[in-house]
């Protein structure tokens, strides 16, 4: 599951600027072979091994992972459904800041250089569907403190300030003396959206967001993605600066004596114009062409007519590659994110392929690439689908499905997808789960388009949903090893992973045997 910095901007920008049929009856017992924990453990210890080096998109390591998956589905006898047997090539480009990029602050004839990648990093590519941000900025610096209405007595950090055409600096943190709950909330990455939603309507020249407290480690985590961001390759004309509607937005960390902050910060955290300080920035990018690879296979359905329709099952097989070391380990194995979903799909494919009876509809298995970089594999697949998109009746997405307390499983989509398009599929999931021998406690608290973590937008199901496909996203939730080198195969709850895989399999079989999703 990706952390989407661009989405934090998107929801701030967006803010500035029919029910499905009845609940189906409890299904009959699902057909299919068994799925067991030992099988999943064996596969995941291979798939999330150090030899895969974190499966980063665009590297030979990701290609090795794709080859592993393709070889497995070939042995199972699934039909190839890529554009080259089981592989669908995804054209990508990596955009990095060029050495000519420069950010400075001038005060009384003295110029101080702001270090890109150390003090700040510009968010140039904000993600698919988000307009590009400006690459130049000039203006007087206005420090707006913490940028929110906080505290008792009430403190409004933007009151009375003229921000138009200014370079606005805001600390994503909490004022001194705040209680633990306030600090937790005001340091969270999700509070960036709230701050931007107040600042952007005032038409600043640039916004510098300094991540305080625990956000400082998040800045270090985000740097590789920000500085070497990946996008789908585009042959279009580059958007000129005049047509870029979003001001330059930079993430950074607050440092004492920084020219971006009051002279006596953090003692002096009052909103104020930093008189005499002029900010100037110009960033440019260099592009390197590369390729990612979706792995696509079909288990053909048993009914001559219904086999031309598909239940799509998805996971992403990429992860972060090499990251800052933890106890000497720098390989982000991504055992849960999303090795767990990847091997669950293999187990489901094997169980269905060896079952006595196949579902009437065909099963479309897609292991997506580039999810961590921006949902690029799924975005490319739905725009260049190797089967007709209108023949896909549902998409079941498994991402991070191997951790946390055994009874709980999160589902996302039935309440978040627009126009109620996934409600009927959600009802099928609930019905299948309730009829199982050991049902999950299904937590729907993340299933909201306004949830502060924006979970609905953060995995591959989102791209299928934007095409009108009913979706459900299955996950067992976050944990301290998320996006760290400590996400290891030894920490997976394999019995729980097997239960999740069986539930997804059973839902797919019910839909595959004619269950209505619309």
Residue-wise pLDDT for 29-50, tens only, equals 334 468 999 999 999 999 999 9
Our CA dihedral for 191, 197, 203, 206, rounded to 10 degrees, sits at 20
**What pLDDT score does 27 carry?**
31
Of 170, 87, 35, nearest to 496 by C-alpha is 35
Count, in order, helices (H) and strands (E) of the chain.
12, 22
The per-residue pLDDT for 441 is: 97
- pTM to 2 decimals? 0.82
Q: Which two tokens stand for residue 319?
A: 């992860």
Tell me how far apart the alpha carbons of residues 117 and 249 are, in angstroms, rounded to a whole number: 14
Q: How crowded is residue 120: how many other Cβ atoms within 10 Å of its Cβ?
A: 22
Q: Where do the H-state alpha helices sit in 310-360?
A: 341-353
Locus of tokens 């967006």: 14
Residues 272-276: contacts with CB under 8 Å, at least 24 apart = 272/142, 272/143, 273/140, 273/141, 273/142, 273/143, 273/161, 274/140, 274/141, 274/142, 274/143, 274/169, 275/140, 276/107, 276/108
Look at residue 3 in the predicted model and tell me its pLDDT.
Answer: 63
Reported as a single tens digit per residue, the pLDDT across 248-269 is 999 999 998 999 999 999 999 9
List where CATH 3.50.30.30 sits in the chain: 101-283
Domain with CATH 3.40.630.10 in the chain: 59-93+289-512
What is the C-alpha to C-alpha distance for residues 183 and 478, in angstroms, rounded to an integer? 20
For residue 285, what pLDDT is reported? 85
Q: CA nearest 222: which of 372, 103, 48, 104?
A: 372
Cβ atoms < 10 Å from Cβ of 147: 28
Instruction: Give domain 59-93+289-512's CATH superfamily.
Output: Zn peptidases (3.40.630.10)
Record the tokens describing residue 415, joined without a space.
């309440």
3-state secondary structure of 4: coil
pLDDT at 49: 98
Among residues 4, 459, 474, 461, the alpha carbon closest in space to that of 229 is found at 4
Q: Which of 262, 280, 276 is nearest to 108 (CA)?
A: 276
pLDDT in the model for residue 32:
45
φ/ψ of 45, rounded to 5, equals -65, -25
CATH number, span 101-283: 3.50.30.30
Which residues of the chain fall short of a pLDDT of 50? Answer: 10-11, 17-32
The reported pLDDT for the residue numbered 1 is 81
* Terminal-residue alpha carbon distance, the chain: 27
Q: What is the pLDDT of residue 131?
A: 80
Cβ burial 266-299 (10 Å sphere, 16+ → b, else e): eeebebeebeebebbbebebeeeebbbbbbbbbb
| Residue among 256, 242, 172, 243 at smallest CA distance from 207 | 172
Three-state secondary structure string covering 6-41: HHHHHHHHHHHCCCCCCCCCCCCCCCCCCCCHHHHH
Structure confidence at residue 461 (pLDDT):
98
Q: What is the 3-state secondary structure (H, E, C) of 144-189?
A: CCCCCEECCCCEECCCCCCCCCCEEEEEECCCCCCCHHHHHHHHCC
Closest listed residue to residue 340, CA positions, set 459, 438, 456, 435: 459
Question: What's the chain's length in residues?
Answer: 518
């Amino acid at each position: 599951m990706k952390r989407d910095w661009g989405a934090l901007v998107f929801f701030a920008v967006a803010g500035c600027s029919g029910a499905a049929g009845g609940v189906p009856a409890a299904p009959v017992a699902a057909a299919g072979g068994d799925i067991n924990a030992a099988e999943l453990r064996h596969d995941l210890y291979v798939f999330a091994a150090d030899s895969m080096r974190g499966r980063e998109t665009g590297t030979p390591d990701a290609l090795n992972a794709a080859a592993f998956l393709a070889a497995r589905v070939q042995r199972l006898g699934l039909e190839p459904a890529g554009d080259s047997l089981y592989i669908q090539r995804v054209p990508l480009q990596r955009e990095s800041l060029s050495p000519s990029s420069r950010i400075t602050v001038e005060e009384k004839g003295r110029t101080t250089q702001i270090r890109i990648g150390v003090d700040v990093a510009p968010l140039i590519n904000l993600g698919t569907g988000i307009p590009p941000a400006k690459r130049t900025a000039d203006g007087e610096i206005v420090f707006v403190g913490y940028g929110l209405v906080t505290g008792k007595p009430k403190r409004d950090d933007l009151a009375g300030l003229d921000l138009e055409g200014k370079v606005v600096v805001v600390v994503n943190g909490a004022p001194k003396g705040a209680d633990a709950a306030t600090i937790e909330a005001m340091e969270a990455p999700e509070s960036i959206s709230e701050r931007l939603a107040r600042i952007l309507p005032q038409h600043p020249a640039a916004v510098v967001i300094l991540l305080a407290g625990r956000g400082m480690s998040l800045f270090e985590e985000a740097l590789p993605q920000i500085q070497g961001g990946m996008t789908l390759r585009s042959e279009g004309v580059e958007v000129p600066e005049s047509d870029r509607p979003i001001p330059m937005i930079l993430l950074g960390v607050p440092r004492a004596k920084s020219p971006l902050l009051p002279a006596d910060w953090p003692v002096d955290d009052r909103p104020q114009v930093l008189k005499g300080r002029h900010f100037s920035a110009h960033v440019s990018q260099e592009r390197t062409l590369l390729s990612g690879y979706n792995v696509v296979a079909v288990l053909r359905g048993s009914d001559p007519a219904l086999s031309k329709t598909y239940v799509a099952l998805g996971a992403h097989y990429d992860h972060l590659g090499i990251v800052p070391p933890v106890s000497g380990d720098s390989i982000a194995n991504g055992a849960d994110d999303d090795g767990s979903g990847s091997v669950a799909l293999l187990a489901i494919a094997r169980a269905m392929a060896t079952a006595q009876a196949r579902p009437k509809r065909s099963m479309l298995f897609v292991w997506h690439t580039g999810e961590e970089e921006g949902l690029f594999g799924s975005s490319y697949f739905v725009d260049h689908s190797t089967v007709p998109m209108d023949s896909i009746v549902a998409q079941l997405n498994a991402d991070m499905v191997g951790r946390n307390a055994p009874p709980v499983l999160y589902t996302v989509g039935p309440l978040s997808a627009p126009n109620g398009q996934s409600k009927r599929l959600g009802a099928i999931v609930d019905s299948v789960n309730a009829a199982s021998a050991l049902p999950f406690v299904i937590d729907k608290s993340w299933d909201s388009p306004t949830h502060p973590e924006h979970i609905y937008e953060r995995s591959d199901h989102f791209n299928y949903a934007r095409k009108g496909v009913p979706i459900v996203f299955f996950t067992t939730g976050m944990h301290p090893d998320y996006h760290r080198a400590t996400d290891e195969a030894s920490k997976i709850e394999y019995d729980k992973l097997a239960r999740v895989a069986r539930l997804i399999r059973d839902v797919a079989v019910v839909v595959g045997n004619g269950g209505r999703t619309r």
